Homo-oligomer: A and B are copies of this chain.
């Protein structure tokens, strides 16, 4: 019985963990992020992980199932952080009998992303991966990502609607799309610019705090127009 079949049958993982699965997940995360899903071969992944070519199909079932695990492994815990913070924003505003504030709402979504990025090793690669997920031409990556992001996105959207009752839902939706575009663009490009592309007097690599200090006011202003 293969590992993939065991997982599908929801059998509890064996107590003696082989770390081959982990090494493959790490290698896949890194390569998917840097080269893209379709430009990364299973041979490249297993080579990087020091595993046999057949290991991916044995442990995960297929390349696509591997991608799902790569995304779910980090996105599910991250979304729990986001959900906790968004619910706290909603609860606090309710207790204080006021509306949620746009800034704290956006921060509740974005800050866990950035903290996550700096905390776990390899998470920066993961951020590039999900930063690109929405713009992947291929259905594979996009659909898997949307599956895992959908509910938290709706919670963010509804909280913003509560924060901005005078603005119609449609306008808020599209402004949120603009914001997601800006955020994902930064997530996938920061640290990837080539020096030659910077005008003089521009620091190529602001740290996370400096980036947040520029990004959040930009997004808040855009959301609150009028």
Instruction: Show the binding face of A for B, using Cβ within 8 Å.
Output: 33-36, 38-39, 131-132, 134-138, 146, 150, 154, 157-158, 169-171, 173-175, 177-186, 188-189, 197-199, 201-203, 206, 211, 214-215, 217-219, 221-222, 224-226
Contacts and interface: CB of A to CB of B under 8 A. Distances in A.
A226 B216 CA distance: 13
A179 B206 CA distance: 18
A218 B220 CA distance: 10
A180 B154 CA distance: 24
Contacts of A179: 182
Contacts of A219: 178, 222
Secondary structure of the A contact surface, majority rule: helix
Nearest to A183: B181
Contacts of A171: 214
Per assembly, the copies of the chain total 2
A132 B185 CA distance: 10
A190 B159 CA distance: 23
A202 B39 contact: no
Contacts of A35: 137-138
Contact of A135 (B135, B173, B222): B135
Nearest to A33: B137
Nearest to A175: B218
B197 A186 contact: no
Given A138-B39, A219-B222, A225-B218, A177 B186 contact: yes
For the complex of A and B, 8 pairs with smallest distance between CB atoms = A181-B185, A36-B137, A178-B182, A181-B182, A218-B222, A135-B135, A221-B221, A222-B222
Contacts of A175: 214, 218
A134 B199 CA distance: 18
B169 A206 contact: no
